[in-house]
Amino acid sequence: MPESSALEPPRDCPACPRLVAFREEQRARRPDWHNAPVPSFGPERPRLLIVGLAPGLQGANRTGRPFTGDWAGDLLYATLLKFGFADGVYDERPDDGLTLSDARITNAVRCVPPENKPTGPEISTCRPYLSGELAAVADGGAVVALGRIAHDSTLRALGVRLAAAPFRHGAEHALGPVTLFDSYHCSRYNTNTGVLTTAMFEAVFARVLAYLG
């Protein structure tokens, strides 16, 4: 894992007591897993930043790379490969050789939360790292928010009122130097229930690609 920086929390980040306790519990249970804040993946000054919710327990929390090792990653990386934002082969492990092209993936909350549900204070505490990621997006770039929590935290990090840019799947919001694109989260629950289809997800990234030119 990279050393702590303006963009990355330290491996033993003490900021959120509930998440620290859960992390220690998982470390004791599965010492071979990553079990730490998950660093972002991709070039540090991208034209596209994808913001998820938080690491999945058996996905990124296990592997140490965002959206790697669970169903959400299967759909996300297949889509990024299809639209030219990734190169290589996604094989559900951080050493699969996959690289991102002008894109970066991060999470609104860097540590895995119990039941995949971070609290409001935990989201706020982790927001400075998201602010750093957003500041590094190239002018004229795009941000894709996967779900309402990622959307709301992105707006707050940019200093935008939530009412000024309401979340809606497929919505686009021009926010000064970047444009925010909204999508339902690519979770197994959303895809299994039909809330999000592959076609709906791909349509968002098709518009992002057209926007970036």
CATH number of the structural domain spanning residue 133: 3.40.470.10
119-160: pLDDT as tens digits: 999 999 999 999 999 999 999 999 999 999 999 999 999 999
What whole-number distance in Å separates Cα of residue 141 and Cα of residue 46? Answer: 8
120 and 99 in contact (C-beta within 8 Å)? no
What pLDDT score does 124 carry? 98
The residue among 10, 56, 55, 58 whose CA lies nearest residue 30 is: 58
Does pLDDT of 1 surpass 60? Answer: no
CA 141 to chain centre: 16
152-210: pLDDT as tens digits: 999 999 999 999 999 999 999 999 999 999 999 999 999 999 999 999 999 999 999 99
Residue 156 burial class via C-beta count within 10 angstroms: exposed 0-12, middle 13-18, buried 19 and up? middle
86-128: pLDDT as tens digits: 999 999 999 999 999 999 999 999 999 999 999 999 999 999 9
Please give the mean pLDDT across all residues of the chain: 96
In a domain, 141, yes or no: yes
In a domain, 181, yes or no: yes
In a domain, 2, yes or no: no
pTM: 0.95
Does pLDDT of 2 surpass 90? Answer: no
The residues with which 144 forms a beta bridge, in sequence order, are: 50, 181
What whole-number distance in Å separates Cα of residue 131 and Cα of residue 157? Answer: 5
To the nearest 10°, the Cα dihedral for 161, 165, 167, 170? -160
What pLDDT score does 6 carry? 62
In a domain, 10, yes or no: no
Q: Are strands 178-183 and 48-52 parallel, antiparallel or unpaired?
A: unpaired
In a domain, 1, yes or no: no
Q: Tokens in use for 13?
A: 């980040």
Q: How many domains does the chain have?
A: 1
What pLDDT score does 74 carry? 96
Domain that holds residue 136: 17-212
In a domain, 132, yes or no: yes
CA 193, 199, 204, 205 torsion-angle sign: positive
What pLDDT score does 7 carry? 78
What pLDDT score does 53 carry? 98
Crossing angle of helices 120-135/148-158, nearest 10°? 60
